[in-house]
Amino acid sequence: MDLGSAPITLFPLHTRRNALKRFFALLATCAMLLGLTALFSPQAAAATGCRVDYTVTSQWQGGFQAGVKITNLGDPITGWTLKFTLPDAGQKVVQGWNATWSQSSGPTVTAVGADWNRTLATGASTDLGFVGSFTGSNPKPTAFTLNDVVCTGSVDGGGEEPPPVPGTNTPVSVNGQLHVCGVNLCNQYNRPIQLRGMSTHGIQWFSKCYNNASLDALAEDWKSDLFRVAMYVQEQGYETDPAGFTSRVNSLVDMAEARGMYAVIDFHTLTPGDPNYNLDRAKTFFASVAARNADKKNVIYEIANEPNGVSWTAIKNYAEQVIPVIRAADPDAVVIVGTRGWSSLGVSDGSDESEIVANPVNATNIMYAFHFYAASHKDNYRTTVSRAASQLPLFVSEFGTVSATGGGAVDRASSIAWLDLLDRLKISYANWTYSDANEGSAAFRPGTCNGSDYSSSGVLTESGALIKSRISTADNFPTS
């Protein structure tokens, strides 16, 4: 999802993108202008204080990954600098995201806000993170300051505390390593299963929505089986900071694993629509994340979100070059391949699944993506899925309850018809979007991600309430 330019009557999955692309471009321009303004006006300081929540999300021999949540308790600020001290001489920041990170030869670490999160209203929060190394002990940082004001709020987590251990009866503990059998997604008992869950919005825009509280809610209250991490490649995404975005994706994979959920790593290509434009980036990215996550049982790779304006032959060529890169490091994980017409099996281009059936990707353990938006894509799309599901392994890695613009009213009747169909066919799905974006597809009301409640009726949109009610029902995964 989420940016594009063709009219719905011709290209239903594409229309929602141009308006939103212009919107986010305007935001980026405003941020740039604010940055220029900052050159001529003093940086506003937090008047009464701040809070920092520090959590180690994973730790290994000589290294760790940490999340840092800043909450402004004072006056609104435009432009911020966070500083803290690493107590042990062997602790170093290797790389970070959602800020510009630096560390001198001493123990002081500095993080300067990015264009898109540099403004913090009173009570507002933003989430940062970094990968660090250590040679001795790994105690938690001290002396947090925001614009030179001491942060007296709580500091959660400790440098030596491991991430939570997944409980029993979680989706991953029950099903283990997944694989494709026939046209189905199957578990370790070789039985067909259906995963139901949520997709992030672009992690470059809605990072604050993906933290310990929100993932706890997703796993425990929503009873979600999977968490799709939408990493845009363009649109201010991966291409702007490959190391930072790769680390952020890995962090979210770890957070899903710690809660027993499957994680779909989505290489969210959208503009341009030909995935071959990002072929080299894809090889670099997937070589890295596959090597790093090869021993995990919860990872699914989605190699091209919504190919558009391109032939199936070109998409197939891309897939057959990227999949071997993944297989070299992780031979067992399921791979999802995008399809023509914004992953509509070609329906939005006036085609159908027959071109894939006649010329499938030359690889094993793969599934084909299908995306829909319920208010725009109805009977003819459902008919295609019903027919294709008997010949192709399908995975609905993204869908919305609203129109293809990502906005508008929830179409309950069409949404329920789609969900009933997917349940009947045991097709797994991820709903767009687990965010508080100001659009109809969002699960949360605007501003929700500034707080800690991600489940109550007071924070859910109509779409969020509908999807939560569907995915929180019992899975009843077969084990024999």
- Give phi and psi for 140, each to the nearest 5: -70, 150
Q: Is 398 a known active-site residue?
A: yes
Q: Are strands 366-373 and 394-400 parallel, antiparallel or unpaired?
A: parallel
Q: To which H or E segment does residue 368 belong?
A: strand 366-373
b/e string for 145-180 if b means 16 or more Cβ within 10 A? bbbebebeeebebebeeebeebeeebbbebbeebbb
Catalytic residue among 257, 302, 355, 398: 398
Residue 105 burial (CB < 10 Å; 0-12/13-18/19+)?
Answer: exposed
First to last CA, the chain: 37
Dist CA 193 CA 60 (whole Å) = 32
Q: What share of the chain is helix, strand, coil (3-state, %, to 5)?
A: 30, 25, 45
Q: Is 320 a known active-site residue?
A: no
Q: Say whether 354 sits in a helix, a strand or coil.
A: helix
User: Which residues, 6+ apart, have CB-to-CB distance to 355 below 8 Å?
Assistant: 312, 340, 346
Catalytic residue among 235, 257, 302, 306: 306
Residue 462 burial (CB < 10 Å; 0-12/13-18/19+)?
Answer: middle
Residue 284 burial (CB < 10 Å; 0-12/13-18/19+)?
Answer: middle
User: Which residues, 6+ apart, have CB-to-CB distance to 28 below 8 Å?
Assistant: 115, 116, 236
Dist CA 413 CA 96 (whole Å) = 44
Q: Positive or negative, the Cα torsion across 25, 71, 1, 419?
A: negative
Dist CA 126 CA 82 (whole Å) = 12
Residues labelled catalytic: 306, 398
